Structure 1
């Protein structure tokens, strides 16, 4: 499975050691096939969750008894790390920690790193828009921030947006979610986006100022996933994001039949595989 594929870890940036990504190759020279690219979650700050946590999902994608040709349409897999915000349970001594190892990022560093990582992959493998961008939790947020134009890159890098996006258990409406959770999420958003809730609202995927369809004219599908068992993200979060995308003219499919707690879905991988293969089969059949 994933361990049998050619795996390489690349640095796409030089500021921080977390500006890295992993690649698992299947048929990387075939530009007619699709890449599956993953952005992990961890509330923008958890150092225990990194790009290698996609391995179980890769195994499930490769082993899935899919009746379609989706599996044979995959050129390779990639998974992105990005600079992290501080975590109170994993403090660092600022006086002794090398700058390249610091976890002190704030927006737009996270989404800028996603942008830079995708630019690196597109330059190296030349797949253009032929990829499925998958994201869990904060990674789902980053995927939609990318579509919404919230990356602040100004260094000559260019990224072609994906044909398909699969965000699941995502965080899209920072103030709304925090209010529904009785203010208990403010710590997470403050660490990643600053202390001003108005600042949170300005960069939440739900509130991006531009039309998603206007920026993503060639996009084919957003498949939003949510589990009724998710103890951290509630149903209004996915409903609001689906409604916003639909208002903007984006084709949206919502799966609410996932099962398992917030992290169990990526930890087990089977349902990630099901979403990815369904979305990939949909776009391949429609090509």
Structure 2
């Protein structure tokens, strides 16, 4: 594994688990945009199981409350641009867990208005947070991490993937979108997954329920590995 910096902050780093191919699986970790113990290392196990014909990348980014949206997604975009330029990337599968799933879809939205030089072949959102207003309505205590990351409620819609007008966005190709939710998730019900699938209706997302264990265990589940590997064709 190779660790590289794409910025000057100590959290602006990434790890390349392999670089054998122009096709990459890129992992974006969760942690409610604030947890310093949820880092790019969370993706190492998953990336170790992707086919040898694919390269692997795991991204760290700056955390709240020190920074606020759009700094998180700015970091992810900068990291991807760094790797694409250095390693001549042609195709990427973006895999995001929890807050990272939100970031993966925010990246897709940005690329839809500024198409990249590489193909995003798939987005895999795992146990994702997509609908901020719906999340706080269902779990009022979660306001404790939404506000530091995104500011007051008047600012949520501009950043919340479930509030995007996806029908107005397009790419020169059609990425597969997999919304993955473990039925054992203790931190999120199916409401977030249902909300984003409704919002993404024009992009034909697949909602996949799995026996993936708890919220954080899902990343290391065999079921998720199988989904990722099925996309590496």
Common fold, TM-score beyond 0.5?
A: yes
TM-score by length of 2: 0.92
Cα deviation for residue 239 of structure 1 reads: 1.0
Relative to structure 1, the CA distance from residue 269 to residue 57 in structure 2 (aligned partners, 3 Å threshold; closer, same or farther) is farther
Relative to structure 1, the CA distance from residue 276 to residue 147 in structure 2 (aligned partners, 3 Å threshold; closer, same or farther) is same
Cα deviation for residue 26 of structure 1 reads: 4.8
SS of the equivalent of 2:24 reads: strand
Contact 1:119 1:159 in 2 (8 A): no
Alignment of 1:99-248 (within 5 A): 104-128=66-90, 130-149=91-110, 160=118, 162-181=120-139, 183-194=140-151, 196-209=152-165, 211=167, 214-246=169-201
2:4 corresponds to which residue? 10
Cα deviation for residue 189 of structure 1 reads: 0.3
TM-score by length of 1: 0.75
Cα deviation for residue 172 of structure 1 reads: 0.4
In structure 2, list runs of 5 or more residues that go unmatched. none
Contact 2:89 2:118 in 1 (8 A): no
Across the aligned residues of Structure 1 and Structure 2, the Cα RMSD in angstroms comes to 2.3
Q: Distance in 1 between matches of 2:107 and 2:44?
A: 23
Q: Distance in 2 between matches of 1:259 and 1:136?
A: 13
Cα deviation for residue 222 of structure 1 reads: 0.3
Q: Distance in 1 between matches of 2:3 and 2:127?
A: 27
SS of the equivalent of 1:211 reads: helix
- Which residue, 209, 212, 215 being the options, matches 1:259? 212
1:81 corresponds to which residue? 60
Q: Distance in 2 between matches of 1:189 and 1:150?
A: 24
1:45 corresponds to which residue? 34
* In the alignment, structure 1 residue 54 sits paired with structure 2 residue 43: yes
- Which residue, 273, 277, 281 being the options, matches 2:225? 273
Which stretches of structure 1, 4 residues or more, deviate above 3 A after TM superposition? 158-161, 209-212
In structure 1, list runs of 5 or more residues that go unmatched. 1-6, 63-70, 87-103
Cα deviation for residue 147 of structure 1 reads: 1.3
Cα deviation for residue 55 of structure 1 reads: 1.5
Q: Distance in 1 between matches of 2:158 and 2:119?
A: 22
Contact 1:230 1:261 in 2 (8 A): yes
